[in-house]
Structure 1
Amino acid sequence: MPQTVVITGASAGIGRATARLYARRGANVLLIARGRAGLEAAAKEVESLGGHPLIQVADTADAAQLEAAAQAAEQTFGPIDVWINCAFTSVFAPFDEIAAAEYDRVTQVSYLGFVNGTRTALKRMLPRDAGTIVQVGSALGERSIPLQSAYCGAKHAINGFTSSLRTELLHRGSNVHVTIAQMPAVNTPQFSWVRSRLPQHPQPVPPIYQPEVAARGVVHAADHPRRKQYYIGATTVATIWANRLAPALLDRYLARTGFDSQQTDLWPPTGASNLFEPVDRTKDSDHGAHGVFDEQAHSSSLEAALSRHPAAAAAGLALGIAALATAWLHRHTRVS
């Protein structure tokens, strides 16, 4: 029987790439976003790849809209097996240049949207004592950077809220699982439609990964949800550990480099931002999964692959240690 999967933010970026992976499994996929053009294009992809799509235009900041979308999924497909919270929005600007209404909006979507999605999923999963929730997080949820205070705050909040929920589920002895997939810099369309007050075009802090790398991490987390969180990409691991080991040093480094590293030599985007309204409302305005950084983005991650296959990684490490030991013994035996 095919899985039934709900993906918020499914019209573009990581959500769109994740929907394609589930489609290849023949899954039932509920695609949620605000922009109809992106959703319709995503649904065509899901169907062409062997999946069964259903689209729902909804704003994750509105709990009632998510509840209606979940009801539609159940009526069409039956019980929901996996719920993936991925929708977000942001503002690139120094904190004192972000208006109160803008900050509220980022928090409503990028944090409370995850809370709303999780509540809607749990309403259905807890009575059945089955199901998995995946939060699409970020390395910026543990290590903040300049110019993205609203987004970083939301991602930090997701970590705290999810940890609290996890302990509650453990207390109940529940078979419902929740996990977080912490993302690196990803080449998504958001950098061309985000609200920005930077003098140049915003970019993810290099190195940049393609959304397919992120999507593979999300699906793996959903398949193996017992771990608290997954780190996708070596830069995510490096960022988190650098922050734990030398946070003050990292503060000074980011103060010196964090402004320039988030901007390209391109002119800033001239189109409308998606903060309050979707940019893919009209026909032929689909943006797909990829952003404008294809030439710089990596299509694979050794760290992410190893995290999906820990036994193979451990075996490889053991073989490597054995080879080094053999070489050392051989060398010193000859010398003696």
Structure 2
Amino acid sequence: MPHQVAVITGAGAGIGRATARTLARAGCDVALIGRDSDRLEAAAAELAELHVRAMAVTADVADAAALDRAAESIESRLGPITLWVNCAGADVCGQFVTLPPADIRRATEVTYLGTVHGTQAALTRMRRRGCGTIVNLAALSLPLPLRAVESGARAAIRAFTESLRPEILRDGDRIHLALVHLPAINTPRFSWTRNHTGKRLKPTAPVYEPEIAAEAISRAAFGRHRDVRVGLSGLGRRAAGLLVPSLMDRRQSLHAYARQLEKDAAEADAPDNLFAPVTGAYAAHGRFDLDVRKTMPILVTTTIRSVLAGAALAAGLGVLAAAIRRRA
């Protein structure tokens, strides 16, 4: 594999931190972007033990100019950026009608616009060389009540990425855009999401460790897959939602709240990371290690989906041909 310089946003904790370790083990030099300088420096020190160059850059992804300056600084120190992974995100959880507009705006700016700004910073530099890879994160499961803001942002990321692909193709650049569709991941986010529900938050099953997400990101980047989906459960729910949407709405209204909230009340003064980072030695994992799936899920790539769709089509045509022969 040619030498790679990877940039990861949201790299201080959660999926971003796990991805940094995975890419460093693959031999990439890694630039870590985030808001908490102490966590970034701790992550960079971990990567240095893997004998790769690591660089910590403090920046808010909602600030396009700050991300552009970060990208320029990274290229001047580590070299041309070949891989950019947008992992940064922030959320506000609660009944939508009760959410303050400032919280909605900020969560959208970090999750959606942070991905847009990161993609633009990466694309501007990759187009000079006509090659590179950008990986964005979307949600695998159906949108959930109490999570309308993030659900909207992740849907927007998917549409943005799919809209951008034809532009790059028309320009003739060999720049690859990948989408990784993730289920619930055990990260610290459930401890520091701004929470208006009054209850402690929990992920909805199935839950996987952040290293699974990092593996999917690595597979999308180096395998040059258009899409990678972690597991199959979300696909089933999406299909059911398309077939009988009213029943899925009712099911979500009855059961989705309990799946996301613990019985214990949330701490009234619990810190959140919406407008400023939460201090502390957070890393990749959250507090749900006992609840995660222990086996590696199926990573459904675009190629695998095409094969499955082709097999299903062939089987359907076979049944149809047999029926026609019987009638004849």
TM-score after normalising by structure 2: 0.88
Question: Which structure shows the bigger proportion of residues in strand conformation?
Answer: 2
Gap change, CA 1:239 and 1:41, over 3 Å in 2: farther
What residue identity is the alignment partner of 1:92? C
Q: Which residue of 1 aligns with 2:251?
A: 253
Q: Which moved more, 1:270-279 or 1:295-304?
A: 295-304
Q: Secondary structure at the match of 1:50?
A: coil
- The equivalent of 1:45 in structure 2 is 46
Q: What's the offset of the Cα at 1:14?
A: 0.7
State the AA in 2 paired with 1:233: G
Partner Cα distance (1:243, 1:217) in 2: 25
Q: What residue ranges of structure 1 are gaps of 5+ in the alignment?
A: 318-336
| Structure 2 residue ranges without an equivalent (≥5) | 312-328
- Counterparts of 1:59-208 in structure 2, within 5 Å, are 59-140=60-141, 143-208=142-207
Match of 2:289 among 294, 316, 322: 294
Whichever residue aligns with residue 229 of structure 2, its letter is Y
Q: How much has 1:240 moved relative to structure 2?
A: 2.8
Q: Partner amino acid for 1:230?
A: V
Offset of residue 226 of structure 1: 4.2
Structure 2 CA distance for aligned equivalents of residues 180 and 308 of structure 1: 10
Cα deviations across residues 204-260 of structure 1 (Å, max 9, x unaligned)?
Answer: 111211111111001101112342x21112223233333333322211111111111
**Contact 1:220–1:308, Cα closer than 8 Å, also in 2:** no
Tell me the matched-pair count.
306
Q: Which amino acid aligns with 1:109?
A: V
Aligned residues of 2:5 and 2:83 also touching (Cα < 8 A): yes
Change (3 A) 1:19 1:138: same
Moved more, 180-189 or 271-280: 271-280
Please give the per-residue CA displacement for 1:4-27, whole angstroms capped at 9, x wherever unaligned: 000000011111100000111221
Query: Aligned partners of 1:272 and 1:149: how far apart in 2?
Result: 21
Q: Given that residues 179 and 225 in structure 1 are in contact (C-alpha distance below 8 angstroms), is that contact kept between their aligned partners in structure 2?
A: yes
Aligned-residue sequence identity (percent) comes to 39
Residue 133 of structure 2 aligns with an amino acid whose one-letter code is T
Shift of 1:199: 2.5
Does residue 33 in structure 1 map to residue 34 in structure 2?
Answer: yes
Q: Residue 242 of structure 1 corresponds to which residue in structure 2?
A: 240
Q: How far did residue 307 of structure 1 move?
A: 4.7
Partners of 2:251 and 2:160 lie apart in 1 by: 29
- Give the Cα separation in 1 of the matches to 2:23 and 2:40: 15
Counterpart in the other structure of 2:271 = 272
- Three-state SS of the structure 2 residue aligned to 1:266 is strand
Q: CA RMSD in A?
A: 2.0
